[in-house]
Each structure stands twice: as structure tokens, then as C-alpha cells.
Copies of this chain bind each other. A is one copy, B any other.
Amino acid sequence: MLKTRAIVSAIALAGSISVASAWDALPTKAPAPANNPTTAEKVELGRILYHDPRLSSTGTVSCASCHNTMLGGEDNRPNSMGVHGQTGGRSAPTVWNAAFNEVQFWDGRAASLEAQAAGPVTNPIEMGMKSWDDVVARLEKIEGYPALFNAAFGNDAISEDKATKAIAAYERTLITPNSPYDKYAKGDKKALTAQQIRGLNKAVEIGCVNCHSGPAFNGPGTFQKFPVIDNAYLEKQYSLSADKGLYEVTGKSGDENKFKVPTLRNVALTAPYFHNGSVSSLEKAVKIMAKVQLGKKLSKADTEDIVAFLNALTGEFPKQTMPTLPGTPGSSFEYK
């Protein structure tokens, strides 16, 4: 069904080569939920918590370890490496522009950045803390955190709710505007090369944009099935359908192999690709997507054009100050 929809829409869209400029450029501010308005103090606290490895059982893994904002917002590994060198089955999604996802995690099991932030901290193979009570107990022992919570929330009591709100507020500032595509969409027709424009039109023509359009190229449609079309050869190489995605959360028939549509923003910087990180290059990823989502075999030239266009979605990374983490003078935690 998706295939049919894709083809119909591609035909509809392919007529106009100016369709791209109809998509908005990336907003420079992300909307915040009513119960967690973004403030400078909350962002500052969140920035500190996000980079604090003491939120992990070993004291070695922070949010930034796997969602590295010095890189493309993740770790360029097939799957992330948590405490004690453990790895899971999924590839870390980028934190850049995650504020524009409707849901978080590959299986979309978190409805907000706040809910997402709580997860990895107590995941035994990620940050390995036994409970958020243990995290709060640690934070209370770190000089400086109570004052930072007070500045952000008006009182110095530390809680999971506040910590995850602060981290989410910080993440809402992680936006990468002014990619060549954004400049093009705003009217600078020289911002894309001829090859990138060809790639953009090809992406419209074959239907990539049916699921990857809008300012963050991650919709419309929160979830999509992947792969749509069975391909034994690719399955053998990349195990694309082993992970059941949304179904593993809901257990509902029809949810099998459904995944959150990932943003294409900065996709050139987030290899390897797909939920299981099984595909090493963007070129391969584009070819496989065309094959198993749209039933198309792309030529080498078309693939290269689309890759060139995807490189035009790499934005400008805001300059960040490195946080100075508050200390525990004269002592440290007993890391396991």
C-alpha cells in the first residue's frame, strides 16, 4: 500500500521541479510543551546533565557519549557502546533536530524528549543505573547541582522529572539551520550544485519525499514499515526485518517492522545507516531504500545525485560552550 501511495505521490510531485522550495527551511526554534517551557537556566542545567558521565553506573557514559554533539549527534557506530563495553541491537539516532520528531526512539516508544531522556540512564546495557532514585541520590551529592536545579526550577529539590525536563530543554536548542538546502529553499538558487538539484528532483520523482519531507524530512507519517518489499538477498546481508520495531512495543498485528521515520537532516554525518546500523555507506543506504521501499533499482548516477542532495542537508552546528561539571570535593562515587 505504501508502495502505491509513494508512486502516486511521486507522479503528482514530479511535475514541478520547484516543489522543493515549497518545503519550509528548518525552524531555528523548536516548540516546547506547555509543562516545560524553554528557559536559559533549564538549558544550562540540561547541557551539564547531558555531558555528565556520573549519570552512568561506571561513571564513563553520558548522554553525549552515544549522542555526541561534537559529531553528527551520534557515535557513527552500528550500535552504541554502553557501560562495560556492552552493545545493543539498534543504532543511536542523532540528537540534532530531534526536537522535530513527533516521537523518539526508533520504535517511537517515547512521546517526548522528556520521556526519551529517562530511558537510557537506567537501561542496563546503556548507562546502567539501577534506578532514577540512585541517579537523584548521586546528583544530590554533587556540589553545585542543587543550586543549578534551583536556578532552573525555583527550588533545589532534585528529581527525575526535573532532570529529564532540563535535558529535553537543552536538546530543543540542538538545531542545525542554514544547510545548503535551507538556503536554496529560502531563495538562494546557487546554494545547491547542479548535481544536488538533480538529486533533489530524483528524490521527489521516485518518492523518497513521501515519507521524508517537511522541514526535518521526517514526515508526513510518524511511522512507516521498513522494509516494505521483501528482498532475500538484502535480508541475508543486512537482517533488515529481524527487528520488529513498533511491534516489539505494542504487540499489535500490523505494527511489525514499523519504525519512526528518521530525519534526513545531517544524514551524511550519521553513518552507518538504518535502525540496526547494518549499512556502512550513504550510497548503499540510498540504493537499498529505493529497492525495498519503492521497488526501484537506481542507476549509479541517480544514486550519486541523491547522495549529493543528502549532503546538502548538513546544517550549521551552533557553537557550544563546554560545561564545567560541578564536583564532589574530596570524594567520588563507587562505580561498578
Contacts and interface: CB of A to CB of B under 8 A. Distances in A.
Contacts of A51: 70
Interface in A38-90: 51-54, 58-60, 65, 68-72, 75-78, 81, 83-86
A65 to B, nearest CB: 7
Nearest to A283: B330
Contacts of A31: none
A81 B86 CA distance: 13
Interface string A281-307: 111000000000000000000000001
A77 B327 contact: no
Interface residues of A, number: 50
Interface of A: 51-54, 58-60, 65, 68-72, 75-78, 81, 83-86, 268-269, 271-272, 280-283, 307, 311, 314, 317, 319-325, 327-335
Contact of A328 (B54, B86, B271): B271
A325 B71 contact: yes
Q: Is the interface of A mostly helix, strand, loop or mixed?
A: loop
A77 B335 contact: yes
A272 B332 contact: yes
Contacts of A314: 327, 329
22 contacts: A51-B70, A58-B77, A58-B85, A59-B75, A59-B76, A60-B75, A71-B327, A72-B327, A77-B332, A271-B328, A271-B331, A280-B332, A282-B329, A282-B331, A283-B330, A307-B330, A311-B329, A311-B330, A314-B327, A314-B329, A319-B322, A321-B321
